[in-house]
Amino acid sequence: MRKHVLITGGSRGIGKAIALRFASQEFNVTITYAHNEKAAEETLNEVESKSVEALALKIDLKRIDKTLEIIQNAIQKFGPIDVLINNAGVKRDCPIETMSEQDYDLVMDTNVKGSWAMIKHTINENPKHHPLRIINITSGTGIVGRENQVNYAMSKFALNGMVKALGKELGPKGITINAVSPGLTDTDMTSYVSPEDKKKYADTIPLKRLGTTQDIANACLFLASDEAGFINGQVIPVNGGIHGA
């Protein structure tokens, strides 16, 4: 029986790269998406072209009842979840003086509460004692902070804290949880950064390039592997060496 990976925000960018990387290793793949049905269908077709089965489910991660439905539907389709990757996230950047409560709540509820709910429901709906690898996709902003991103930084710090706390709580159950913390990666979410600024940033990285979605996908696949079975409660920067954890 094939293993089953569930990736939130799996229709584009980092999430899509993760989905395709796991499909290449013969995982059945469930992805979630928020709005872009066309992108989800395209990713679904690409995943299925690798001779595995795939499922795309629309979700509002801010609603805990909907996260439960997603987990139940995924398990009904492919069986227990072996790897849960909390990749979905939103940004609403601006100075704190002008940041609205709505933008604060949207980022915190989507990025933090959504991931918390996905973990909670996966553990409850999976068979008891089923091995599970959990991976939170966080950000260098959740390690070093960044101006005009206080809500986003708080959400990513929270996800890293979740990893530290749940690593201790879930480890005795045979469940590992870790975070992959990308540096600036060339995706839709970073399209606001000009090519000139991307080059300037790349010049500050010891490896002299930006991260790729494949770099992040490879790190996730390693953390899901048997070789990573003793790695737990860690935040792993994948950023070319610009800073540590």
Q: What percent of the chain has pLDDT over 90?
A: 92
Summarize pLDDT for 9-45 with one digit per residue, the tens. Answer: 999 999 999 999 999 999 999 999 999 999 999 999 9
Residue 87 has, within 13 A of its CA and on its CB side, a CA count of 29
What contacts 153, CB < 8 A, 6 or more positions away? 141, 142, 145, 146
Residue of 54, 42, 48 whose CA lies nearest to 78: 54
Gyration radius of the chain over CA positions? 17
At 85 the pLDDT is 98
Residue ranges of domains in the chain, CATH in brackets = 4-238 (3.40.50.720)
Taking residues 84-92, what's their average pLDDT? 97
- For 108-141, write each residue's pLDDT tens digit: 999 999 999 999 999 999 999 999 999 999 999 9
Helix ranges (H only) for the chain are: 13-24, 37-48, 64-78, 101-108, 114-125, 141-144, 150-170, 195-204, 213-223
The sheet carrying 175-182 orders its strands as 54-58, 28-33, 4-7, 83-86, 132-137, 175-182, 235-238
The predicted-structure confidence for 187-224, as pLDDT tens digits, reads as follows: 776 777 888 888 998 999 999 999 999 999 999 999 99
Query: Which residues, other chains included, contact 10 with Cβ-Cβ below 8 Å and sequence gap of 6+?
Result: 16, 18, 19, 29, 30, 31, 32, 33, 40, 43, 56, 87
Active site (catalytic) residues: 152
User: Is the pLDDT assigned to residue 144 strictly greater than 90?
Assistant: yes
**Residue range 177-195: average pLDDT?**
86
Between these two residues, 192 and 235, which has the higher pLDDT value? 235
